[in-house]
Chains A and B, each alone.
Chain A
């Protein structure tokens, strides 16, 4: 049972344009969401998070949007840069659970 889904395995975007990565979840108990970026041969690194009391969180070029009714979150990267090319994972956690459940990842390629 995949509680956190990233339905797009890959995405290609032109440099300078917006990258939009999507994530859906099924467990309504999730109330904290994170995005991680992973380069080859490295561990995932934290990008940005959002609590369910918010619907948007921004950090520089990265913005995460949360739509609780649709159980959907998205990560926007504007403008996209070649160095953003990596695999992006969304993760979710809920009150009373100590688990962080990760999606399967989306491979972003930013074309110069």
Chain B
């Protein structure tokens, strides 16, 4: 158990819909990262937050947005969903914003039909 909690574990929705994925980092971790893993692909970096502020952005679509709340949990919002958005979405946390180990949650599997 990494200490990172992601909900929901599985989500099935239709094209055009909007979903919210939630992540609670490990106790004491200030940084939250979001990654997308499509079928048999690597982990694509989406976005990172540190203590409530956006720190780094990767290949995140404009239809996607995220935030980190004062209690340090984070939400990833995916809107106008397309079939290609079907993927595993991982959240990871770390103590600080720079080098160090990332602790991953078990992921949220999104299926868009």
Chain A interface residues (CB < 8 Å from chain B): 6, 31-32, 34, 36, 41-46, 49, 51, 89, 91, 93, 95, 97-105
Q: Could you say which of B99, B101, B102 has the most chain A C-beta atoms within 10 Å of its C-beta? A: B99
Residues in A with CB closer than 8 Å to B43 are 44, 89, 91, 102
Name the contact of B41 in the complex, choosing from A45, A49, A98, A104 (C-beta under 8 A): A104
Among listed B62-70, B75-83, B104-112, interface-contacting one: B104-112
**Chain A minimum-CB-distance residue to B2:** A43
- How many CB-defined contacts (below 8 Å) exist between A and B? 59
Chain B interface residues (CB < 8 Å from chain A): 2, 4, 31, 33, 35, 41-45, 48, 50, 55-56, 58, 90, 92, 97-99, 101-107
A105 & B33 in contact (Cβ 8 Å cutoff): no
C-alpha spacing A42/B105, complex, angstroms: 8
Residues in A with CB closer than 8 Å to B31 are 98
A100 & B45 in contact (Cβ 8 Å cutoff): yes
C-alpha spacing A93/B92, complex, angstroms: 15
C-alpha spacing A101/B33, complex, angstroms: 11
C-alpha spacing A106/B4, complex, angstroms: 24
C-alpha spacing A42/B88, complex, angstroms: 11
Give 28 A-B contacts (CB < 8 Å), ordered by A residue: A6-B42, A34-B101, A41-B106, A42-B106, A43-B2, A43-B90, A43-B92, A43-B104, A43-B106, A46-B101, A51-B99, A91-B43, A91-B102, A95-B99, A97-B56, A98-B31, A98-B50, A98-B55, A99-B45, A99-B48, A99-B58, A100-B33, A100-B102, A102-B35, A102-B42, A102-B43, A104-B41, A104-B42
**Chain B minimum-CB-distance residue to A48:** B101
B45 & A101 in contact (Cβ 8 Å cutoff): yes
C-alpha spacing A101/B107, complex, angstroms: 18
Residues in B with CB closer than 8 Å to A45 are 2, 104
Residues in A with CB closer than 8 Å to B106 are 41-43
Residues in B with CB closer than 8 Å to A102 are 35, 42-45
C-alpha spacing A50/B72, complex, angstroms: 28
